[in-house]
């Protein structure tokens, strides 16, 4: 079930290259369809939203915005136990992201000063998958950092179920996270509505949240009109392990990501071939009891592997090349190895820190860079929902002291009006 690759400098590179190709292809038909939907929503607004909701979700929604009564009903149907868990997770997420808050500053020098102002965005759109896949964790992870950042209004879009309603757990999570308005709409049409606005849906400044290929394509197409978080690819986990690691834990964690979809990647990088064999046996044993066994089997067969290295140093070199979304370190002294990690979305240290802790409860965000983009992207956080504005002030004496250099700099670039803007002030003194 789990292919073994003996790291020799070539075999692992070939595997990494194949892994990176998954989900890379841009489907021209999907792009054309998304463009058509975006154009229709821009031109016909709410009418187009209703038509596409009927076509793709099979439900007629006369009033797209979720009412206060529907939200309260959703909270009631969620039940006390899940509400308690959602609130506990929200508190951990909120406290973690509060630590990310940055503040403005000012630098004073004589009669000059300059600085920076940090402000939350005015309005942000959160896309949350719906229908048969209800993920209240996505609501918490996308909305709470925005609220902490000081975003004035958080708008959420999520597809309705066949009954025309939104999942109660999603509504409950939205209430807890501080979402202001919720709309029953999904797909590329929801992205278009959030980007351009309709009669009833306000246009936002940024769109975040996961979705299917149409959602991802639409987000790419509206980027520039609005900001977006990232283009998410298939989920992935990489585990670096030594001989002290528990095979049953490694297998369980590999499958926890493999179950997302058939394009997910679950990779073990270890220093022991016998450990890889034991993990393979555990995969067979544990997967037999899991509901998404077929997806797990397909994912691990096509995009999973055990890469066996001569040393942990080489294991971390490979991990940094792959730059995984989730990186688990299952070694004797995991904290000592953290300094070896250069590229990863989120790092999980030790045998009692499985990746699902990060998905749901611990506090760090689960919206992470995929497909090697951890080389230059960061997890979703407060910084994604703020903008920075610089300011400066010069008195006449300071302008005179620096003015000639500014004039010469501008003239060197051939921008004589720039130079003149400074010169007329100096001549006036």
Catalytic pick among 12, 282, 325, 355: 325
- Measured between alpha carbons, how far is 40 from 296 in angstroms, rounded to an integer? 38
What value, to the nearest 5°, has the Cα angle with vertex 199 and ends 222 and 44?
A: 65
Beta bridge partners of 346: 326
Res. 428 pLDDT band, cuts 50 70 90: confident
Q: Which of 97, 236, 282, 326 is catalytic?
A: 326
pLDDT digits (tens, 9 = 90+) for 253-276: 999 999 998 999 999 999 999 999
Annotated catalytic residue 325:
yes
For the entire predicted model, the pTM comes to: 0.93
pLDDT value at residue 131: 60
Residue 234 has pLDDT above 70, yes or no: yes
> Which pLDDT score, from 0 to 100, does residue 132 have?
58
Between CA 27 and CA 144 the distance in angstroms is 33
Average pLDDT, rounded, for the chain: 95
Length reported for the chain: 429
**pLDDT tens-place string over residues 369-414:** 999 999 999 999 999 999 999 999 999 999 999 999 999 999 999 9
Among this protein's residues, is 401 annotated catalytic? Answer: no
Of 318, 323, 342, the closest CA to residue 14 belongs to 318
Question: What confidence tier does 21 reach under pLDDT thresholds 50, 70, 90?
Answer: confident
Percent of the chain whose pLDDT exceeds 90: 89
Q: Identify the CATH number of the domain defined by range 4-23+233-363.
A: 3.40.50.1980
List, by residue range, all CATH 3.40.50.1980 domains of the chain.
4-23+233-363, 28-101+128-228
Q: How confident is the model at residue 324 (pLDDT cuts 50, 70, 90)?
A: very high
pLDDT at 133 over 80: no
b (16+ CB within 10 A) / e for 23-32: beeeeeebbe
State the pLDDT at residue 64: 92
Q: Per-residue pLDDT for 231 more than 90?
A: no
The maximal CA–CA distance of the chain, rounded, in angstroms, is: 85
DSSP helix/strand/coil, 340: helix
- The per-residue pLDDT for range 148-181, each reduced to its tens digit, is 999 999 999 999 998 999 999 999 999 999 999 9
pLDDT at residue 23 is higher than 80: no
Q: What is the pLDDT of residue 214?
A: 93
CATH class for the region spanning 28-101+128-228: alpha beta
pLDDT band for position 27 (cuts 50, 70, 90): confident
Q: 246: burial class by Cβ within 10 Å (0-12, 13-18, 19+)?
A: middle
């Amino acid at each position: 079930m789990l292919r073994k690759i003996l790291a020799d400098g070539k075999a692992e590179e070939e595997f990494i290259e194949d892994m990176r190709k998954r989900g890379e292809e841009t489907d021209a038909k999907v792009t054309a369809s998304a463009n058509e939907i975006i154009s229709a929503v821009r031109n016909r607004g709410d009418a187009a939203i209703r038509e596409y909701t009927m076509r793709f979700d099979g439900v007629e929604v006369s009033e797209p915005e979720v009412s206060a009564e529907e939200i309260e009903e959703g909270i009631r149907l969620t039940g006390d136990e899940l509400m308690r868990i959602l609130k506990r997770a929200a508190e951990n997420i909120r406290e973690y992201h509060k630590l990310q808050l940055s503040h403005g500053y000012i630098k004073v020098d004589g009669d000059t000063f300059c600085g920076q102002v940090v402000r939350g965005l005015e309005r942000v759109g959160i896309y949350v998958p719906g229908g048969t896949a209800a993920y209240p964790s996505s609501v918490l992870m996308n909305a709470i950092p925005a609220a902490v950042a000081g975003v004035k209004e958080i708008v959420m879009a999520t597809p309705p179920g066949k009954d025309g309603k939104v999942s109660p757990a999603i509504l409950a999570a939205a209430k807890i996270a501080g979402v202001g308005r919720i709309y029953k709409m999904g797909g590329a049409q929801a992205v278009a509505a959030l980007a351009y606005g309709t009669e009833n849906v306000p246009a936002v400044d940024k769109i975040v949240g996961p979705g299917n290929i149409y959602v991802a394509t639409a987000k790419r197409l509206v980027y520039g009109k609005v900001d977006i978080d990232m283009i998410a690819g298939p989920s992935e986990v990489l585990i670096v392990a030594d001989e002290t690691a528990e095979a049953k834990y490694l297998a369980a964690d590999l499958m926890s990501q493999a179950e997302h979809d058939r394009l997910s990647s679950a990779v073990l990088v270890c220093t022991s071939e016998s450990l890889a064999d034991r993990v393979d046996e555990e995969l067979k044993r544990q997967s037999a009891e899991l509901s998404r066994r077929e997806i797990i089997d397909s994912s691990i067969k096509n995009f999973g592997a055990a890469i066996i290295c001569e040393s942990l140093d080489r294991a971390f070199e490979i991990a940094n090349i792959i730059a995984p979304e989730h990186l688990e370190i299952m070694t004797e002294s995991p904290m000592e190895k953290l300094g070896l990690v250069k590229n990863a979305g989120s790092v999980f240290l030790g045998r009692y820190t499985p990746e699902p802790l990060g998905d749901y409860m611990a506090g760090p965000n689960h919206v992470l860079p995929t497909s090697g983009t951890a080389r230059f992207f960061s997890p979703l956080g407060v910084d994604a929902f703020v903008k920075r504005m610089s300011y400066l002030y010069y008195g006449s004496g300071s302008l005179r002291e620096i003015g000639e250099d500014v004039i010469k700099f501008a003239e060197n670039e051939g921008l004589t009006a720039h130079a003149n803007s400074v010169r007329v002030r100096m001549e006036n003194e």
